[in-house]
């Protein structure tokens, strides 16, 4: 009988609560994040969050500084506009004074100055008469003084205009630089947010995958509280969808990747089992006439193929050679463990040759 009796040692199915909840008894090492990896991801998220907070604070400071610069520029623009108005007014006043000086000069000439002496009215003492001298001193002298004062005022205004224009240019350059820094920091913020979102999503996936592994291990031990805690932990980061994923992973039946073609004896045992489909289930039953229970059927089927095997599911499991699932063939037996939380072999089925049985 060597090579004929094949049952799985690599995977024994564990039932928790209801028969549809099936898990591998032996949990393979997690391929996803472990607790250390999750802790590292959390640390990265904390670092990115701190970085983003600093960037946001910098943006606020830059925005405040930029707004202040704009206010100053506005004030400088108003001052420049006022200076230009004042300069225009001084130019107008100077022009009026110049016209008055021309008129006064003409009058001085009319009052007695010769043609050859016209220009000398503004260059030397001309004492043609007391009346004209008094006129020149009072009229032309006052006009000259006024013109000089207006020119000085205009020069001062022009100097102020140049100074304010320079300040305005400097402040505009400063505002432009701040605006550039603000735009650059905003881009940095966006990149950090995108990275943070990606890492946060990764962390959620790691936590869910980790809780799936934890839930499977807890289910294997029959620890329903730990299973519930794993489901809750997944839900805390991924909502009901994550909780459902953990539950589905617990319920999922791993596929069997054995051969569809078995040995002659195995195919004969399978054919015998199929021949009595429809026979009622009877606890302790072991014949087509009175009915079968699970181990009674597998024992009877293999007897029809010419081999005797133990009677109960537990004695069949412990009394035959175990093989990995990827070596299973039609007619081989699969055993269920801990269906009723007794930590015993409780059920046996026969592999028919294609995927999950």
- Per residue of the chain (357 residues), give pLDDT as tens: 333 333 333 233 332 222 222 222 222 333 345 777 888 888 888 998 999 899 899 989 989 988 998 898 899 899 888 888 888 887 787 677 667 666 666 665 555 444 444 444 444 444 445 445 555 555 555 666 766 777 788 788 888 888 888 888 988 898 899 899 989 989 999 999 999 899 888 888 888 888 888 888 888 777 878 888 888 888 888 888 888 888 888 876 555 555 666 789 999 999 999 999 999 998 899 999 999 999 999 999 999 999 999 999 989 988 888 888 778 889 999 888 777 777 788 889 998 886 544
36-204 CATH fold: Helix Hairpins (1.10.287)
Compute CA distances 247 → 73, 136, 230, 231, 244, whole Å.
64, 113, 10, 7, 5
Residue that has been written with the tokens 């009677």 in this structure: 311
Say if CB 214 and CB 230 are below 8 A apart: yes
Q: Which of 29, 12, 40 is nearest to 202 (CA)?
A: 40
Say if CB 325 and CB 10 are below 8 A apart: yes
Compute CA distances 198 → 191, 243, 254, whole Å.
11, 21, 31
User: What's the rounded Cα separation, in Å, for the pair 140 and 206?
Assistant: 97
CATH 3.90.1720.10 in the chain is located at 7-28+255-350
CATH 1.10.287.1490 in the chain is located at 36-204
Q: For the domain bounded by 7-28+255-350, which CATH number is listed?
A: 3.90.1720.10
125: which 2 tokens? 């003492």
How many residues are listed for the chain in this entry?
A: 357
Q: Whole-prediction pTM value?
A: 0.47
User: What's the rounded Cα separation, in Å, for the pair 122 and 225?
Assistant: 114
Residue that has been written with the tokens 């031990």 in this structure: 221
Say if CB 165 and CB 35 are below 8 A apart: no
Alpha helices in the chain (DSSP H): 35-110, 130-135, 141-221, 224-251, 264-275, 294-304, 313-319
103: which 2 tokens? 């008129």
């Amino acid at each position: 009988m060597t090579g004929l009796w094949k049952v799985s040692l690599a995977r024994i199915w564990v039932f928790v609560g209801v028969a549809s909840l099936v898990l591998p008894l032996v949990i393979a090492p997690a391929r996803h994040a472990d607790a250390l990896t999750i802790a590292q991801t959390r640390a990265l998220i904390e670092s990115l969050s701190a970085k983003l907070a600093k960037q946001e604070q910098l943006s606020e400071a830059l925005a405040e500084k930029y707004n202040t610069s704009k206010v100053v520029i506005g004030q400088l623009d108003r001052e420049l506009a006022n200076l230009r108005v004042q300069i225009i007014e001084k130019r107008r006043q100077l022009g009026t004074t110049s016209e008055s000086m021309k008129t006064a000069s003409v009058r001085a000439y009319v009052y007695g100055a010769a043609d050859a002496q016209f220009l000398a009215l503004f260059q030397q003492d001309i004492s043609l008469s007391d009346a004209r001298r008094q006129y020149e001193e009072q009229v032309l002298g006052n006009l000259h003084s006024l013109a000089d004062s207006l020119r000085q005022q205009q020069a001062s205004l022009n100097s102020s205009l140049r100074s304010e224009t320079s300040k305005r240019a400097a402040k505009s350059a400063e505002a432009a630089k701040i605006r550039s820094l603000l735009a650059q920091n905003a881009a940095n913020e966006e990149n950090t947010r995108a990275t943070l979102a990606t890492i946060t999503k990764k962390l959620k996936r790691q936590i869910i995958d980790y809780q799936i592994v934890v839930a499977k291990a807890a289910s294997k031990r029959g620890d329903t509280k730990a299973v519930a805690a794993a489901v809750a932990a997944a839900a805390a980061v991924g909502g009901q969808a994550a909780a459902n994923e953990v539950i589905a992973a617990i319920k999922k039946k791993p596929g069997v990747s054995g051969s569809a073609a078995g040995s002659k004896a195995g195919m004969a045992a399978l054919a015998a089992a199929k021949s009595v489909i429809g026979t009622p289930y009877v606890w302790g039953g072991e014949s087509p006439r009175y009915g079968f229970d699970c181990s009674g059927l597998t024992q009877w089927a293999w007897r029809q193929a010419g081999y005797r095997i133990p009677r109960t599911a537990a004695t069949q499991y412990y009394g035959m050679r175990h093989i990995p699932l990827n070596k299973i063939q039609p007619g081989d037996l699969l055993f269920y463990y801990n269906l009723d939380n007794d930590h015993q072999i409780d059920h046996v089925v026969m592999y028919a040759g294609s995927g999950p049985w």
